[in-house]
A and B are shown apart, each in its own frame.
Chain A
């Protein structure tokens, strides 16, 4: 997680607003309302990234190559593709439907670098139930930037997840984190 100094906490009012935003987002995604999520909660300029970090020794600064692999490195159009995929009726992997359930906690909100932007941290526990026998769980932290639009409503401008489970036992991350 990025370390930020001198962070200014948001007001209690904004804190409540941020929390309502994250809870609504969780509910929409977990109840297959991805389109509603995309169209009402996601900023058109979004950067949505989930990456996994190769495990190297703490003291090793000389190793070659990238240390991260990006599972998601999506913009709005990419996310729209993922949403379309859920909607075209041919996604056999989601039929019968998968069921997602997430707990969002440890929410913190700070004033962002620009006016009307907030830096938001949260932790997520997601359980995915699919087909008759599969149950998989995922835990991760999110670092978001929310931006207030001209209509006064918050939207997701940036999400970065530094995914900790190096070897993903839950097979894939084909859901909105």
Chain B
């Protein structure tokens, strides 16, 4: 086993290539990251009623997320306490119980074992039903309607876990009237390591003009993002274009000022969104202040550690479910603001699917990069090397309004460095107490030169 404390050098922006390849590292990721971090499950809007449920995965564990009688949401491992078969085969729906398809044990939506066929006859009434409920996910909570779960009861609260990132996320997640996901998700297989899309979405604005040279030209003609097309020159100093942030928990984003509008195919569609944003902006400014009102009108790409990414502009919301070191399942939703007119919601969903859905023009352009940067490390000599995320080194700073560590350079790898800083810390730390102990000094790794 490699020394995991040597995989990442945050100060110099260097990462070992083994993080995209080694099975032993992957196994440790499952244990130290996916069994301990808050992971995205679903959105309040997709399971509004008692008995509404969805099934998904946390790491490689199958879980059921279900709305209880009292309105709370709980989550359970989707595996029968008898012989381990799946108790729910559907992806979503509404139910009063989950009945195992193997021998028919029946569980309530609260996870308790309610019915055992022929209980008297075959168990002689000796089976303790009380201790045979479904295994429960320790923590479930939501932030602005987005529901996350965590297997580790020692973990900090969701709010604390999001940390400084919560302040930023509110700029779009906490839109006036709230946000919602349009379900169901698309589901597709990508042959890459789970961190490669995460680091791409966390703030890689460098690739937009190059990887997406073709589709930005065809689709984004009226967007400020068009300025990036071809990576030939930058129209304004990078300072004017946007900013980058990273946070204690490795979450981060790149924010391109004024970039939220102008990406739709027709002028009428673009005007409709811009009119909506213009009407909402004063309300956002009043509730969240001028800085976040500016963010509300911006294009974002961001990742919530470890495997949940989003865009503002093409309103995609994604989870990258790991399936071994070299494969993931990508789940993709469209997010919209609840109060938007129906037609605008449809325009946004159409655009999201055309750009970042399963037949999305930008999605497929990204996929090749994520796969080849994973697969190249199958080579022994290749993976002895390191990777470079040094862009913007030395331009990090703290700000009086914006929390975390920020940079005024929008094309930057600060958020990559933050992601991998926390990644290594999670792999190394034995406990949440150890992680908490580092919390007062995390910024040093970025700021001290």
Q: Which residues of A contact B (CB under 8 A)?
A: 50, 52, 54-57, 60, 62-74, 77-78, 81-82, 84-85, 88, 90-93, 131, 166-174
Contact = CB atoms under 8 A, between A and B. Distances in A.
Nearest to B368: A93
B354 interface: yes
B191 A69 contact: no
A93 B234 CA distance: 25
A70 B211 contact: no
Contacts of A131: 368
Interface residues of B, number: 49
A90 B214 contact: yes
A173 B358 contact: yes
B364 A174 contact: yes
A70 B215 CA distance: 20
A64 B188 contact: no
B52 A64 contact: yes
B345 to A, nearest CB: 11
B214 A88 contact: yes
20 contacts: A52-B187, A57-B90, A62-B51, A64-B48, A65-B183, A69-B182, A69-B185, A71-B353, A71-B358, A73-B350, A78-B354, A81-B265, A85-B215, A85-B361, A88-B218, A91-B365, A92-B214, A166-B187, A172-B360, A172-B367
B218 A81 contact: yes
A60 B90 contact: yes
Contact of B94 (A60, A82, A171): A60
Interface of B: 45-49, 51-52, 89-95, 182-191, 211, 213-215, 217-219, 230, 265-266, 329, 349-350, 353-354, 357-361, 363-365, 367-368
B374 to A, nearest CB: 13
A50 to B, nearest CB: 7
A77 B350 CA distance: 13
The winner among A63, A68, A173 for most chain B CB atoms within 10 A is A63
Contacts of B48: 64
Contacts of A62: 49, 51, 93-94
